Amino acid sequence: MSALLAGVRVLDLTNVLAGPFCCYQLALMGADVIKVETPGAGDLARQLGADPALNENLMGASFLAQNAAKRSIALDLKSPRGKEIFHKLVASADVVVENFRPGVMERLGLGAQALRALKPGLVYCAISGFGQDGPLRDNPAYDQIVQGLSGVMSVTGDARSGPLRVGYPVADTVGGLTAAMAVCGALVRRGRTGEGETIDVSMLEAALVAMGWQVSNWLIAGVAPERLGNENMTAAPSGTFATAEGALNIAANKQQQFEKLCALIGRPELARDPRFAQREERKRRRYELKAELEIALADRSAAQWAALMNAAGIPAGEVLSVPQALAHPQIAARGLVRRFEEAPGVGAPLDVVRAGFRLASGDPVPAAPPPRLGEHAAEILRELGLPAAEIDAFLRG
């Protein structure tokens, strides 16, 4: 079967994470994603990552993480020639995604309205920190700033350690996923009606929406969220527990699970103890209960307890590092990691992750490694119908 977005062309004008992550999801679903980059430097993420040599080579690990399966052309959108070629690209495209500050594309004469004059059914997606209007629209937006303003940091950590930043750029990532979902929705409607769309994605709003229960508990119940660290506010025992070796997450959220847990660890009396017998009492006395459970859990390792508990129907799992998680048999069995034996500009085999879902018609995996800056300029220009002499002149700069 064809890929979900086969035949859809996306122009990716984005930098760093939220926008590139959005467009990577579209590329994984089969869209032809053309990354339109600034000449000389390209996406800033090309210079970011843990390997200085890759950064120097404009193939930083941060770039490699979410730009596989894309093609690259370098265009100066401020120059007449750059705009001319970009106009031709837009006429051939279905989607434009950008994450400049609000107003930048309009000042270039390349805003949604101007581009839709070239392609009436165009889906135009603008990703920004705070949206295209409102008092913060012109503020620079980085993930940590959005985490703080959204309340994410206020509910991360415990009473002593917080507020804490979530350990990965969650606002950027959620913003990118939100944008990809909106683009797909707009494409579905366009397939029915031919209508284009202008999408305004705010990372701040996407982060607040993703907080779900924390937000609804305040909006609906009037209860402000607290920092509970590794404890689950909805139930007990539900959180992270010390064992003889390693930390263990247990989510015995149902009464039956709690009773099974007490029996399994050799403390059946805890299920009858008046302090813990009822759900609400357990929540109020969660730290007393945790202390009792950890005495028994000290007999085995987290891995051993996880196996025993899952076999008994008690949700449990080890707390793993990223390397441990990626090496886990479950991840290997599902084929999450895609290896490229050769990747231009990398000089070694390259591993990247595919989409977080699989399809019966064929898993969404990147078909090609991340591109060098401007790597596909010649083939893209040929597709646009430019004569060979003009292509040669463009490549010579």
CA distances from 252 to 135, 227, 303, 332 (A): 44, 20, 17, 28
Distance in angstroms (rounded) separating the CA atoms of residues 318 and 314? 13
Query: Which pair of tokens denotes residue 339?
Result: 């290896």
> What are the E-state strand segments in 40-84?
70-74
Active-site residue, selected from the candidate residues 172, 200, 299, 351:
172
Distance in angstroms (rounded) separating the CA atoms of residues 329 and 384? 46
Cα angle for residues 117, 121, 127 (degrees, 5° grid):
90
> What are the E-state strand segments in the chain?
9-12, 32-37, 70-74, 95-98, 123-128, 197-202, 238-242, 247-251, 316-318, 337-340, 350-353
Is 172 an annotated catalytic residue?
Answer: yes
Query: Which pair of tokens denotes residue 4?
Result: 């979900």
Q: Which of 211, 215, 210, 249 lies closest to 232 in space, CA to CA?
A: 249
Do residues 309 and 249 lie in contact, with contact meaning Cβ atoms separated by under 8 Å?
Answer: no
Distance in angstroms (rounded) separating the CA atoms of residues 203 and 130? 6
**Which residues are identified as catalytic?**
172
